[in-house]
Structure 1
Amino acid sequence: MKFIQQAYKGENNWWAYLLTIFLLFFGWQLIGILPLVGVAFFYSEDVGEFSSAALDNFTTLGINSNLYLGLMIFTFFAGLVFLLLGIKTIHKRKIISVITTRKKIDWSRFFYAFTVWAIIGLATFFIDYFMSPNDYVFNFQPMQFFILLIISLLFLPLQTSMEEVLFRGYLMQGFGTWFKNSFVALLITSVIFGLLHGANPEVEKLGWIVMIYYIGTGFLLGIFTLMDEGIELSLGFHAANNIIAAVLVTSKWAAFQTEALFLDIAEPNIDFEFFLPFIVFYPFVIFVFSKKYGWTNWKEKLFGTVRKPIVLNEDEFIA
Structure 2
Amino acid sequence: MYIAQAYRGLSDSWRYVIGLLVVFFVWQFIGGIPLIIALLVKADSLAVLGSGDIGVMADILGANTLLFLMLLTFVIGLIGLFAYVSLVHKQKITQLTTSRKKIDFKRVFFAFIIWALISTAFIFVDIMLSPENYEFNFNLEPFLILALIAVLMIPLQTSMEEYYMRGYMMQGLGIMAKNRWVPLFVTSLLFGIMHVFNPEVAKMGYGILIFYIGTGLFLGIITLMDEGLELALGFHAANNLTAALLVTADWTAFQTNSLYRDVSDPVLGWDVLVPVFVIYPILLFIFSKKYKWTDWKERLTGDVPSEETFLALNSDNADVQDPS
- Whether 1:113 and 2:111 are equivalent positions in the alignment is yes
Change (3 A) 1:134 1:171: same
Q: CA deviation at 1:12?
A: 1.6
Aligned to 2:242: 244
Q: Is the 8 A contact 1:37 1:54 kept in 2?
A: no
Give the aligned residue type for 1:179: A
Deviations 1:163-187 (A, max 9, x none): 0011111111111111122111100
Aligned residues: 316
**What is the aligned counterpart of 2:290 among 281, 292, 308?**
292
Aligned to 1:40: 39
Q: CA deviation at 1:23?
A: 2.5
**What is the aligned counterpart of 1:145 among 137, 143, 146?**
143
Change (3 A) 1:296 1:307: same
CA distance in structure 2 between the partners assigned to 1:287 and 1:315 by the alignment: 30
Change (3 A) 1:162 1:267: same
CA distance in structure 2 between the partners assigned to 1:8 and 1:238 by the alignment: 27
**What is the aligned counterpart of 2:231 among 224, 230, 233?**
233
Q: CA deviation at 1:59?
A: 3.7
Matches within 5 A, 1:148-227: 148-227=146-225
Q: Is the 8 A contact 1:54 1:61 kept in 2?
A: no
Q: CA deviation at 1:54?
A: 7.9
Q: Is the 8 A contact 2:55 2:250 kept in 1?
A: no
Change (3 A) 1:133 1:203: same
CA distance in structure 1 between the partners assigned to 2:118 and 2:251 by the alignment: 23
CA distance in structure 1 between the partners assigned to 2:295 and 2:130 by the alignment: 43
SS at match of 1:115: helix
Q: CA deviation at 1:279?
A: 2.4
Change (3 A) 1:301 1:72: same
Aligned to 2:299: 301
CA distance in structure 2 between the partners assigned to 1:56 and 1:253 by the alignment: 8
Give the aligned residue type for 1:287: F
Give the aligned residue type for 2:285: F
Unaligned runs of 5+ in 2: none
RMSD: 1.8
Deviations 1:284-313 (A, max 9, x none): 111111111111111110111111133114
Q: CA deviation at 1:273?
A: 3.0
Q: CA deviation at 1:274?
A: 2.2
Q: Is the 8 A contact 2:58 2:66 kept in 1?
A: no
TM-score of the two chains, using structure 1 as the length reference: 0.94
Which stretch shifts more, 48-57 or 147-156? 48-57
- Whether 1:31 and 2:47 are equivalent positions in the alignment is no
Deviations 1:68-117 (A, max 9, x none): 11111111011111111111111111111110011111111101000000
Give the aligned residue type for 1:38: I
Q: Is the 8 A contact 1:58 1:68 kept in 2?
A: no
Q: CA deviation at 1:48?
A: 6.0
Change (3 A) 1:54 1:227: closer
Aligned to 1:3: 2
Aligned to 1:16: 15
Q: Percent identity?
A: 45
Change (3 A) 1:13 1:87: same
